[in-house]
Amino acid sequence: MRKKGKRTRQLKALFLFGLILTLVLMLIVSTVGRQEFNTPHKLALEVLGRAQSGASSVGGFFKTFWHNYSTLIGIREENERLKEELRKYKAATTRYREAVATNVRLTKLLELKETLPPPTLTAQIIGKDPSQWFKTLIIDRGSSDGVENGMPAVTVEGIVGQVVNTSPHYAKLLLANDPNSALDAVIQKSRIQGIIKGNGNDFDLYYVLKNAEVAQGDEVVTSGLGTVFPKGLMIGTVTNVTKNRRGMFQNITVTPAVDFSQLEQVIIVMKKASLAE
């Protein structure tokens, strides 16, 4: 029995030795031999390759995610930069348009100034009447510039009003459409005279006899009488003519040539100092 157990142990040791020797020989043969993967190599590669593939996929996902994220940050910054540039260009375009509009307006004012009796003065409107009952404006020219009460104010489109109060550097204008304003006028085509009075929005032409021929679309200009406004300045266009049964005169509504809500600059027609002064 003891011999049999000893023999079994010897056989096991021999088997183990043979197995190791075989593996070593296989390794040596494969290394020195054809340089190709054997089955265990392939098996190991298959297993580890799958793991690598999975890891690479996960890494690639994160890498792509990070790349996209960092690109997005870059795009956002670029977007902000482009928006800022766009804002700058828009502002520049607005300034350019404003400059062109101002140029056109001032050119027209200059052309008008040349047709008006000298001297004239250009004034900027800086304030408007806050009440709903009166139509006045504040301009940035005053008595130190030679502005006096009663001086007329005009624009390219037509008459605006006249100066009613002054301080050294500012003055108050009463608009022609104020109910307290009145001026001599003449219908340009027929030379019929009347008095233009404001009604808060438009003008009413008073004291035109019923037998006078007045039609819609007739243009009304200053008559030059009253010595406040120069002759021939545009006042507005006749838009409504009514002849009542009673009374001597017609009811005539005149739409102003000037848009009083859009005024920015006016020309003050200065009075010439008389020789007596």
Partner 1 sequence: MLIAIFLAIGTLCLVLQTTLLHGLPAWMGQPDLLFLLIVFAATHLDLFRGAVLSLLLGLLMDIFSGIFLGLYPLTYLLVFFVLKGSTRHLAFTDTLHQIPLIVISYLFANAAIYIITTVLAPEAVLSWGWGNMFQQVIIMSVTCIPCCSIFRWLQTRMTPGGNSSFLSLGSRPSNRFKG
Pairwise CA distance, residues 155 & 198, whole Å: 18
Q: Output 199 or 216, the one with its CB closest to partner 1.
A: 199
180 belongs to the binding site for partner 1 (CB under 8 A): yes
Binding flags for partner 1, 89-128, as an x/- string (CB under 8 A): -------------------------------------xxx
As measured in angstroms, the least distance from the Cβ of 181 to partner 1 is: 9
142-167: buried (b, 16+ CB within 10 Å) or exposed (e) per residue?
Answer: bbebebeeebbbbbbbbbbbbbbebe
212 belongs to the binding site for partner 1 (CB under 8 A): no
- Using the 8-state DSSP alphabet, how is residue 209 labeled? B
Pairwise CA distance, residues 181 & 200, whole Å: 10
As measured in angstroms, the least distance from the Cβ of 135 to partner 1 is: 10
The site that binds partner 1 (CB under 8 A) totals a number of residues, namely 22
As measured in angstroms, the least distance from the Cβ of 65 to partner 1 is: 48
Query: CA dist 149 to 117, 178, 277, Å?
Result: 18, 16, 16
From 10-18, 31-39, 174-182, 233-241, span contacting partner 1 (CB under 8 A): 174-182
Side chain identity at 187, as an amino acid letter?
A: I
Cβ contacts of residue 270 below 8 Å, gap of 6+? 118, 119, 120, 121, 146, 147, 148, 151
Q: Output 103 or 199, the one with its CB closest to partner 1.
A: 199
168 belongs to the binding site for partner 1 (CB under 8 A): no
Q: Output 120 or 253, the one with its CB closest to partner 1.
A: 253
Q: Output 234 or 254, the one with its CB closest to partner 1.
A: 254
Phi, psi of 241 (to 5 degrees): -130, 125
Binding flags for partner 1, 125-164, as an x/- string (CB under 8 A): -xxxxxxxxx-x-x-------------------------x
Q: Output 40 or 179, the one with its CB closest to partner 1.
A: 179
From 22-30, 47-55, 170-178, 218-226, span contacting partner 1 (CB under 8 A): 170-178
Residue 126, sorted as left (phi over 0), alpha (psi -120 to 50) or beta, turns out to be alpha
One DSSP character per residue, 90-146 reads HHHHHHHHHHHHHHHHHHHHHHHHHHSPSPEEEEEEEEE--SSS--EEEES--GGGT
- Residues that bind partner 1 in the complex, under the rule CB under 8 A: 126-134, 136, 138, 164-165, 172, 174, 178-180, 182, 197, 199-200
